[in-house]
Amino acid sequence: MLAVKNLFCERDERVLFANFSLQINAAEVVQIIGQNGSGKTTLLRILCGLSDAYTGEIYWQGTDLDEVREEYYQAMLYVGHLAGVKGSLTAEENLRWMMQLDHSLNKCSIAEALKQVGLFGFEDVPCHSLSAGQQRRVGLARLYLSSAPLWILDEPFTALDKKGVKEKEALIARHTQEGGAVILTTHHDLTIPGQTIRPIDLDQVAVA
């Protein structure tokens, strides 16, 4: 699906990674690990197009990313480490707004997605009235809505209780069973049913 070749990134005059290559295949979970400050979030932001502070090559399905960016963005879902919701909007309004921006969020209804994340009955509640965990679940409802084959997730289990974590692990398992791929960071002890997780340790990446 996604391939990275000879990636180089420097931040604050410190090299985060150099000559870094990675290939992500269909039906695979790749976990990026490393100490704080090793560049995990920076790498994900590069892969999802939020940062161009790098040199190297990125390919989507064998084609240089610069040639297929629009296609790639339609095929990729990025969920950052923050909840990513507007407090003045309700849970339903937030998801409706997200769906207008991302047409790959079409797999089920908003009502069904909110039900799946345990927010049935909270559709019309402004998000500033929800707990941190509930706000996080509003953002993660995109995973149930998404038909994108590639998910890029930065700390997706933050603020979730044990039940929420298990549900998201099961959802990731189902996504890969359907041929999707996931690249993620997490400090959680990750367990994906029926799935081998491939770790990539940025602390072990050779730097210049």
Global confidence as pTM? 0.93
- Count of domains in the chain? 1
- The pair of structure tokens assigned to 199 is 């770790």
pLDDT in tens, 48-98: 999 999 999 999 999 999 999 999 999 999 999 888 999 999 999 999 999
Q: What's the DSSP call for residue 199?
A: E
Rounded-to-integer distance, Cα 38 and Cα 101, Å: 31
Interacting residues of 168 by C-beta distance below 8 A, sequence separation 6+: 140, 143, 156, 157, 160
pLDDT in tens, 190-203: 999 889 999 999 98
**Which residue segment(s) compose the domain that 20 sits in?**
2-204
| CB distance 73 to 152 below 8 Å | no
| CB distance 92 to 110 below 8 Å | yes
pLDDT in tens, 149-169: 999 999 999 888 899 999 999
pLDDT in tens, 96-124: 999 999 989 999 999 999 999 999 999 99
CATH code of 174's domain: 3.40.50.300
